[in-house]
Amino acid sequence: FSMFGLHFLAASCLVSVALACQDYELEYAVISGEVTPLLVQVCTNNQTITYHMPASDNFEEVTTFEDYELGYGASRVTSQEACYVRLLSKSLDEQISYLKQHQNNPMTVEGDAQVDAIPVDDVYEELGEEVGNFCDDYPAYKLVKRQGAEEESERERQVSVTFQRCVLICFRPYCYTTTLTVPTGSTITFVWFFFG
């Protein structure tokens, strides 16, 4: 090997290490004192983070995929055969910092959020191929802020069927309301719910 070859090989190794995925094993503590594992994989080369919360007495099985290039996070809830999509509010670096901060410190319930789950007609068209592939055959729902009183008149022009359930998404139990809505009046634009 020439000196150039050795330098090139060393540089290639450093680049591949920097681009490789990093695994984290975090824990989530519930009120009863039980601890549930949360497996996390951070891939800086494609700006993604994947989480897996196995099913337990306290939580449903949830797999979450966050794409920081697209700005979307999606959580696939196996027991409900549904995929919930939200906008990300943190950068990849901020989220990695959060993960490192909690690596040796079990996370706890920080609160919940009240959101509506709005069905997505065409996941691939609206949210892109990465999110569409992640959601697979599960129907996708956008998580949006619950509408305020100023929008009640618009809501009255719709027929809705609503049900509520809670699930762990990105370190917090979130209660969500799935609303299947048939508009009978003007169209409503929903505001995305940011968390992550």
Structure confidence at residue 111 (pLDDT): 57
Are 110 and 98 in contact, with CB atoms under 8 Å apart?
no
User: What pLDDT is stored for residue 94 in this prediction?
Assistant: 92
Would 10 be classed as within a structural domain? no
Is the pTM of the predicted complex or chain greater than 0.75? no
94-152 residue pLDDT tens: 999 988 888 878 776 665 667 788 899 999 999 999 999 999 999 999 988 776 534 44
More confident site: 163 or 41: 41
pLDDT at 2: 55
Is 64 a member of any domain? yes
Domain that includes residue 84, residue range: 20-183
In a domain, 5, yes or no: no
* Residue found under tokens 């065409």: 122
What's the structural domain count of the chain? Answer: 1
Measured from the Cβ of residue 107, the count of other Cβ atoms closer than 10 Å reads 18
- The verdict on residue 47 lying in a domain is yes
Inside any domain, residue 100: yes
Query: Does residue 90 sit within a domain?
Result: yes
Residue 92 lies in a domain: yes
Domain-located, residue 132: yes
Q: Is 121 helix (H, G, I), strand (E, B) or coil?
A: coil
pLDDT at 34: 78
- For residues 134 and 76, the answer to whether their CB atoms sit within 8 Å is yes
